Amino acid sequence: MNILDKIVADKRKEVDLKKSLIPVSQLEKSVLMERNTVSLASALQNSTSGIIAEHKRRSPSKSVINQDLNVQDVAKGYESAGVCGMSVLTDGKYFGGSLDDLLLARASANIPLLRKEFIIDEYQILEARAHGADVILLIAAILNRTEIKVLSETAKSLGLDVLLEVHNEEELQKSIMPSLDMLGVNNRNLKTFEVSLETSKNLSEKIPNDFVKVSESGISTVEAIKELQPYGYQGFLIGENFMKTNDPGKHAKEFISQLV
């Protein structure tokens, strides 16, 4: 079994368990359900830097990145750096994140928040909304077309933006539909962890222009961003490069100052 299949199998069990402990009716009572969401897609379209900065403590590909920071400080740092949005990993087992991280980020910063999760069930979308997310990620490698349709339409009905992530042309072709806002190309193959910016370059012309294009993973220099911009990318998702420092916000600010 590859790592992605393992993550999804674990996630299925986790979601089934949570559903039995915390019913939908309880999630719907969250005060955050009444909050007006903000659009990451619009923020990216109106930005010259397009940085989406991630909170990521560890990952299956790198193990420990940084366990010493407070998510609140990271969120405030990213906000004052002028990022377009923040991505918060909520998977516990493989990434060391939690829904509490999302909640604390929400309480600390007023910027679009993406719930970074392996979403396979509508329940997780309601959870995202109830914990302060503005955007969800859907990963084409773990979903079929019908699932992408149902999940993205659920997200839209809750006022959330949808970022659909692909890694190759086949995933892209099966996924294109109007209920998506942003198309993300993951430069990292989630099955092998191989990283190449060529993935973004090669797929860019196949993404219809009605979607905001986002390049994800393995971006560690301003030059890489400048290289990707001519291919139509308006969003750049950066995790490790910021998180491996002791002040991710400061690092993000330096990046942004070179892009505006």
Ligand X SMILES: O=P(O)(O)OC[C@@H](O)[C@@H](O)c1c[nH]c2ccccc12
Rounded to the nearest whole angstrom, what is the least distance from the CB of residue 116 to ligand X in the complex?
Answer: 6
Residue 226: active-site member: no
Q: Which stretch binds ligand X (CB under 6 A): 12-20, 31-39, 102-110, 233-241?
A: 233-241
Question: Is 102 a binder of ligand X (CB under 6 A)?
Answer: no
Residue 93: active-site member: no
Which 169-188 residues touch ligand X, going by CB under 6 A?
186
Beta strands in the chain (DSSP E): 51-55, 58-59, 63-64, 85-89, 113-116, 135-139, 161-166, 182-186, 212-216, 233-238
Residue 116: active-site member: yes
Closest CA to 112 of 45, 183, 160, 46: 160
Rounded to the nearest whole angstrom, what is the least distance from the CB of residue 220 to ligand X in the complex?
Answer: 7
Residue 191: active-site member: no
Residue 165: active-site member: yes
Rounded to the nearest whole angstrom, what is the least distance from the CB of residue 139 to ligand X in the complex?
Answer: 6
Q: Report how far residue 22's alpha carbon sits from residue 90's, in angstroms, rounded to the nearest whole number.
A: 17
Q: Report how far residue 104's alpha carbon sits from residue 101's, in angstroms, rounded to the nearest whole number.
A: 5
Question: Is 241 a binder of ligand X (CB under 6 A)?
Answer: yes
| Strand-pair partners of 136 | 115, 162
Question: Is 116 a binder of ligand X (CB under 6 A)?
Answer: yes
Q: Which residue has 């559903």 as its token pair?
A: 19
Residue 56: active-site member: yes
Question: Is 217 a binder of ligand X (CB under 6 A)?
Answer: yes
Residue 50 has what DSSP assignment? -
Residue 123 or 242 with smaller CB distance to ligand X = 242
Residue 54: active-site member: yes
Rounded to the nearest whole angstrom, what is the least distance from the CB of residue 188 to ligand X in the complex?
Answer: 6
Q: Which of 134, 161, 171, 240 binds ligand X (CB under 6 A)?
A: 240
Task: Number of residues interacting with ligand X: please give it, by CB under 6 A.
Answer: 15
Burial class (CB within 10 angstroms; exposed 0-12, middle 13-18, buried 19+) of 78: buried
Q: Report how far residue 199's alpha carbon sits from residue 182's, in angstroms, rounded to the nearest whole number.
A: 17
Q: Report how far residue 161's alpha carbon sits from residue 176's, in angstroms, rounded to the nearest whole number.
A: 15
Question: Is 54 a binder of ligand X (CB under 6 A)?
Answer: yes
Catalytic residue among 56, 59, 187, 240: 56
Which 118-147 residues touch ligand X, going by CB under 6 A?
139
CA distance to 17, 43, 66, 246, per residue, from 50 (Å)? 37, 8, 24, 22
Catalytic positions, written as ranges: 54, 56, 116, 165, 186, 216-217
Residues lying near ligand X in the complex (CB under 6 A) are found at 54, 56, 116, 139, 165, 186, 216-219, 237-241
